[in-house]
Chains A and B, each alone.
Chain A
Amino acid sequence: MAQWAWLVALFPLLAFALMEVAPGRLRLRRDTLGTVAVAASFVVSLAVLVDVWAGARAAASWQWAQVGPVQIPMGWQVDPLSAVMLVVVNLVSLMVHVFSLSYMEGDVRYGRYYAILSLFTFSMLGLLLVDNFLGLFIFWELVGLCSFVLIGHWYEEKANSNAAMKAFLTTRVGDVAMLIGILVLFAHLGTLKYGDIWSAAQSGQLSLDVITTASLLLFGGAIGKSAQFPLHVWLPDAMAGPTPVSALIHAATMVAAGVYLVARAFPLFSLSPTALYWVAVTGGFTAIFAATIAVVQDDIKKVLAYSTISQLGYMFLGLGAGSLVAGSFHLVTQAFFKSLLFLAAGSVIHAVHTQNLHEMGGLYPRMKWTAWTWMIGALSMAGIPPLAGFWSKDEVLLAAYRSPYPILFWLALVAAFLTAFYITRATWLAFFGTARDEQRARHAHESGWRMQLPLGVLALLAAGAGLLGASWFGHPFTHFIAGSVPAGTHLAEPEPAGLVQGLALLAAVAGIAVAGGIYGGGWVSRASLIRAGRPLYVLLKRKYFVDELYGWVFVKGTVALSWLTGAFDRYIVDGIVNAVGWLGVQLAYATGDFDQAVIDGAVNGVGQAVEGGGRLLRRAQTGYVSTYLVTLATAVVAVLILLVLRR
């Protein structure tokens, strides 16, 4: 079955093409078409996974283009890592397709929504399937484009389209680094294929400096896509998109592409301790950084967004600590529990028409299904055994504990505590206590099987998927995933430590207990808490002022720079452009006669309208031909003199 893996990506692509070109009746059934295609993909990917689990591998490659002596191949491959990810992506995508049938019903751009969803699914699957960096980059950009379109789905509101642009631009900053990293590898090895690069790197064809540079540049792309500090700012804003989109793209799949990239390039990263160190530090710092912000968010989706950033940080921490398994395992479980949380949040939002936690409350009696599935997701994320999140987080913590930088372990432990805290807080505020908005709470209700079924399926996985990597069964996932890197790759397989498990459990329980105490038990009033820690509260509420900082430095900076060069352009119409200089144009206007204009232009051109030294630069482009000419002559002569003198 593995040799048919390419079918997985084909179905959504065909669906997208059909949706775009097919006329009439078929166009009306875009939702069905998309859902069926993804379902078909899911079935195939499941079969592929079973096959790969049994030891099968498949790959195909053909020559796409040739640059001079260098060949650019294009091809696909399946190995354990991509096979697992294919199933995860297809499953979440399928669930989101089903969920959206109800959630997006009656939307203005319902058809387009499904079309882009199909295109996204195709691109994401393509990203997982390709066997080379060029293909990876192409699909990398395509998923970014789809994300852009879907974040701006309700573009009538300016904030949404701004968020879309912010996401696209911010991630592209990372892409700059990534593309250069790819080019560095390409220039040194003349190949873009993963396999060739790994073997070249391991056989010592690349110096350590090159490996470190390339790895860090690639990691730059991952930082952007996976919203790690300092490029995390786009993900919270991306919540402007429809909630199912947040669940699919901004929780489970696209944002995880960065982690996938590092996991995919692990044979390269593992050769450079420096690169791994920075991956670990970035991940560890982001994990706790985002978790603290999540604690004070009022918007249920923002809580989940910062939580996603934090969890992605965990994955990088795991990878950076040298454990491929920890990172990729947490990647899988997070996809399940986080998309579950997002969809459950969607169900709540659909019912009460608000995202503000303080306008919810008391929903449990009316939305039991949603509440229970949410809680399974929450407990899984908090790390309560035997739910999935416990096992994967345990792997990450263990890897950090055994790594050369144990300080990261303690950071991650605090982050675990915070995770449990903020998710309990959100749970309590949304579902329990008194309804703070009677009107909304009274109207709340479950929204039918199309929304409940995905919640159920994902809850099952969020609870049970961890058993794959559980120590009870001898870590089957560990052995499986190790098959996705070449034999010689150094994989850290940390000794299990009872201490780590105990501390992790303790942190989770403590987080739940403290949050439950504050919000449920009423130990302290929220108001007094805010009063007590006012500066800290403001700092967190404003997200450490990172957005403000960027606004100043980059946005204002760019605008200022653009203004400066623009001032070069046309706005500086100093009256000092002398009166006669004006004349050429004026006369041409007045008479419309070309000959005169030419003559006047020539008359005025060289002799008259010239500027004094200091003002010269500022006036480089005022729209007057005389100025142009003198500038031109000055430039040429200046370059000439400079070159002559330089000799």
Chain B
Amino acid sequence: MATSLLPLLPQLLLVLFALAVLLYDLGNEDRPGLGSLAMLGPLAALLGLGIVAGHPGEYWGRMLKVDSFSLFFQLLTYAGTFLVILLSRDYVERQPIHRGEFYTLILLAGVGMSVMASSAELLMIYVGLELMSLSSYALVGMIKRQDQSIEAALKYYLMGAVTSAILLFGISLLFGITGTTYLPDIASALALTKDIQGNLLLIAAVVFVLAGFGFKVSLVPLHMWTPDVYQGAPTPITAFLAVGSKAAAFAGFIRLLATGLPAAVSLWQPLLALVAVVTMTYGNMTALAQTNMKRMMGYSSIAQAGYILTGLVVFTPDSLAATLYYLLAYLFMNIGVFACLIWVANQQESEEIAAFRGLGQRAPFYAVSLAIFFLSLVGIPPTGGFMGKFYLFFAAVQSHYVWLAVVMVINSVISLAYYYGVVRQMWLEPCLPAAPGAAAGGTSRWSMPAARASTSTPPAAASSTPEKAQSWPEPTKPASLALGVAVVISLLLVLLLGLYPQPFFEWVGKAALLG
């Protein structure tokens, strides 16, 4: 038995820490070090992962699969879980949240994600998905005094339950058609089927399983929960949904399509191509109109799901590797954005985009970091996001999906506009009005009719600095170390992925073989 428990080591460790946090939190007192204990969980799991990495294979009656693909996504999951807990440390202090249950549920969701990633068995993937989902539903509603939070949890739960049923229906159809839920067996059964296109039941099965996963990664038209839930959820949980949930769902998605349904590629490829294009365009267009930062990130994450999906549409080893690479970069850039958002929300008590006003002067470190994360999300070098997009574009063009690459590039230009809205708040919109004598005084003296005409004259007379003249409200709460650490980690990795992609390329290249 000991040998068969070994491949489960990371998940077991995570469960162990989840239970430890739960037990330690029993009783009414505030337990010191609860967050640190929770953070140890994913760290221990990472260590365990290092041990498991040496034992690839299939265990537990083919229920558990340890391969480079599962190792990749497990690492993504544990890193994401760790960072999310890091983001939560400050947050839970300031919100009426039950910390013990909060951390426990995050860890349990992490277990669910890693289960989804490390099996080629639909039953396991489904159970993992449910574990992740049920934990997420509760996590979204954790701020019980905020109606928005409860409302979001309700919506997420109801829609999640319905799509989960649809997914299960699809799985049962697949089982009905092939007599198995083990993906490689499904693939070989389908490979024997002569008329894939004409198998109507298979069409139904494919549509239903795609709907199930499409909901989790928020593809249009199954995206409707995303903005509401992103806005209502506690911010670290929003980050968790954006990176953890999405990555795990994509892990299941890729495993399903690449291992289970490669024979039915002619069925799902055109459908997903259409969905990818609609998703990224819809997400980007709608994000333009948002005023709430979390809601905007919700639409942004819809658009990003569209980009990521293109890797599946193209469906070559390169494009799958590009998908994984993009997910890796996406993890860090998104965590970074949310860390900055939490920092700002702590200071300003607001999550509106307007709260970022003047951040460039108040906290240049966070402002510059956020700008870099945005650049990465848009896909501008030298960031990880650029490398990821470039890789995706390359894979698409190589397989003659030039039109898809064109749509993606055009979309990334559109996305520039709404990220820029935030950047403008940070730098280009100082707190108004400044001391009237400062910058404005110089302009009026030159008596130019239009403000535009005077704009490039040197403000020689305007040497009294507006920076000093403006008085920012003193930060009411001390800046948090944990958030800073999360930003620094994310920043380093985003830049590393952009500047030195080689080892990561090799890694995702191997993982994308799904062997």
Contact of A159 among B380, B397, B452 (CB under 8 A): B452
For B484, the chain A residues whose CB sits under 8 A away are: none
Determine whether A597 belongs to the interface, using a CB cutoff of 8 Å to chain B. Answer: yes
Interface residues of B in 435-451 (CB under 8 A from A): 439, 443, 445-446, 448, 451
- Chain B: which residue is nearest A593 at the CB level? B150
Contact of A240 among B443, B456, B463 (CB under 8 A): B456
Contact of A625 among B158, B393, B456 (CB under 8 A): B158
Asked whether B158 lies within 8 Å of A601 as measured between CB atoms, the reply is: yes
Contact with B along A579-590 (1 / 0, CB 8 A): 000001100110
Given contacts A67-B505, A68-B509, A301-B456, contact A156 B416 (CB under 8 A): no
For B393, the chain A residues whose CB sits under 8 A away are: 179-180, 183
Given contacts A180-B402, A647-B200, contact A563 B289 (CB under 8 A): yes
Determine whether B222 belongs to the interface, using a CB cutoff of 8 Å to chain A. Answer: yes
Determine whether A355 belongs to the interface, using a CB cutoff of 8 Å to chain B. Answer: yes
Contact of A588 among B154, B211, B463 (CB under 8 A): B154
Interface residues of A in 554-576 (CB under 8 A from B): 558-559, 561-566, 568-570
For B157, the chain A residues whose CB sits under 8 A away are: 598
What separation, in Å, do the CA atoms of A175 and B380 have in the docked complex? Answer: 11
Measured CB to CB, the closest approach of chain A to B324, in angstroms, equals 12
Measured CB to CB, the closest approach of chain A to B407, in angstroms, equals 10
Contact of A184 among B288, B402, B416, B465 (CB under 8 A): B402
Contact of A67 among B203, B318, B427 (CB under 8 A): B318
Determine whether A168 belongs to the interface, using a CB cutoff of 8 Å to chain B. Answer: yes
For A246, the chain B residues whose CB sits under 8 A away are: 456
What separation, in Å, do the CA atoms of A184 and B401 have in the docked complex? Answer: 11
For B381, the chain A residues whose CB sits under 8 A away are: 137-138, 141-142
Contact of B321 among A68, A134, A142, A558 (CB under 8 A): A68
Measured CB to CB, the closest approach of chain A to B331, in angstroms, equals 19
A-B contacts, CB under 8 A, total: 242
Contact of B221 among A180, A349, A589, A632 (CB under 8 A): A632
For A563, the chain B residues whose CB sits under 8 A away are: 289
Asked whether A644 lies within 8 Å of B203 as measured between CB atoms, the reply is: yes
Asked whether A161 lies within 8 Å of B154 as measured between CB atoms, the reply is: no
Measured CB to CB, the closest approach of chain A to B29, in angstroms, equals 26
Asked whether A354 lies within 8 Å of B458 as measured between CB atoms, the reply is: no
Determine whether A546 belongs to the interface, using a CB cutoff of 8 Å to chain B. Answer: no
Measured CB to CB, the closest approach of chain A to B36, in angstroms, equals 30
Interface residues of B in 73-112 (CB under 8 A from A): none
Asked whether B208 lies within 8 Å of A636 as measured between CB atoms, the reply is: yes
For B162, the chain A residues whose CB sits under 8 A away are: 629, 632-633
Contact with B along A609-647 (1 / 0, CB 8 A): 000000000001101010011011101100110011001
Determine whether B204 belongs to the interface, using a CB cutoff of 8 Å to chain A. Answer: yes
For A169, the chain B residues whose CB sits under 8 A away are: 413, 416-417
Measured CB to CB, the closest approach of chain B to A73, in angstroms, equals 11
Contact of B397 among A138, A172, A180 (CB under 8 A): A180
What separation, in Å, do the CA atoms of A60 and B509 have in the docked complex? Answer: 27
For A640, the chain B residues whose CB sits under 8 A away are: 203-204, 207-208
Interface residues of A in 315-342 (CB under 8 A from B): none
For A633, the chain B residues whose CB sits under 8 A away are: 162
Determine whether B184 belongs to the interface, using a CB cutoff of 8 Å to chain A. Answer: no
Asked whether A66 lies within 8 Å of B317 as measured between CB atoms, the reply is: no
For A605, the chain B residues whose CB sits under 8 A away are: 158
Asked whether B409 lies within 8 Å of A180 as measured between CB atoms, the reply is: yes
What separation, in Å, do the CA atoms of A245 and B67 have in the docked complex? Answer: 54
For B390, the chain A residues whose CB sits under 8 A away are: 134
Asked whether A157 lies within 8 Å of B154 as measured between CB atoms, the reply is: no
For B118, the chain A residues whose CB sits under 8 A away are: none
Contact with A along B172-207 (1 / 0, CB 8 A): 000000000000000000000000011010011001
What separation, in Å, do the CA atoms of A356 and B446 have in the docked complex? Answer: 11
Asked whether A636 lies within 8 Å of B458 as measured between CB atoms, the reply is: no
Given contacts A566-B289, A588-B154, contact A628 B159 (CB under 8 A): yes
For B405, the chain A residues whose CB sits under 8 A away are: 180, 183
Determine whether A536 belongs to the interface, using a CB cutoff of 8 Å to chain B. Answer: no
Asked whether B282 lies within 8 Å of A152 as measured between CB atoms, the reply is: no
Determine whether A409 belongs to the interface, using a CB cutoff of 8 Å to chain B. Answer: no
For B228, the chain A residues whose CB sits under 8 A away are: 623
Given contacts A65-B501, A620-B224, contact A145 B380 (CB under 8 A): yes
Given contacts A176-B410, A350-B458, A631-B221, contact A597 B154 (CB under 8 A): yes
Contact of A187 among B398, B451, B467 (CB under 8 A): B398
Measured CB to CB, the closest approach of chain A to B133, in angstroms, equals 15
- Chain A: which residue is nearest B381 at the CB level? A138
Determine whether A4 belongs to the interface, using a CB cutoff of 8 Å to chain B. Answer: no
Determine whether B5 belongs to the interface, using a CB cutoff of 8 Å to chain A. Answer: no
What separation, in Å, do the CA atoms of A594 and B416 have in the docked complex? Answer: 39
Most chain A CB inside 10 Å of its own CB: which residue of B197, B414, B453, B502: B453
Asked whether A161 lies within 8 Å of B424 as measured between CB atoms, the reply is: yes
Given contacts A349-B457, A594-B141, A632-B163, contact A588 B397 (CB under 8 A): no
What separation, in Å, do the CA atoms of A64 and B501 have in the docked complex? Answer: 8
Given contacts A169-B416, A355-B453, A585-B151, contact A629 B158 (CB under 8 A): yes
Measured CB to CB, the closest approach of chain A to B363, in angstroms, equals 16
Most chain B CB inside 10 Å of its own CB: which residue of A67, A563, A592, A633: A67
Measured CB to CB, the closest approach of chain A to B445, in angstroms, equals 7
Asked whether A66 lies within 8 Å of B410 as measured between CB atoms, the reply is: no
Asked whether A594 lies within 8 Å of B456 as measured between CB atoms, the reply is: no
What separation, in Å, do the CA atoms of A293 and B393 have in the docked complex? Answer: 39
Determine whether A1 belongs to the interface, using a CB cutoff of 8 Å to chain B. Answer: no
Contact with B along A360-393 (1 / 0, CB 8 A): 0000000000000000000000000000000000
Measured CB to CB, the closest approach of chain B to A28, in angstroms, equals 15
Given A168-B416, A301-B456, A354-B453, 6 more A-B residue pairs with CB atoms under 8 Å apart are: A180-B393, A594-B150, A620-B221, A620-B224, A621-B224, A640-B204
Closest 10 CB pairs of A and B: A566-B289, A161-B428, A106-B463, A138-B381, A562-B288, A183-B397, A635-B221, A155-B428, A187-B397, A565-B286
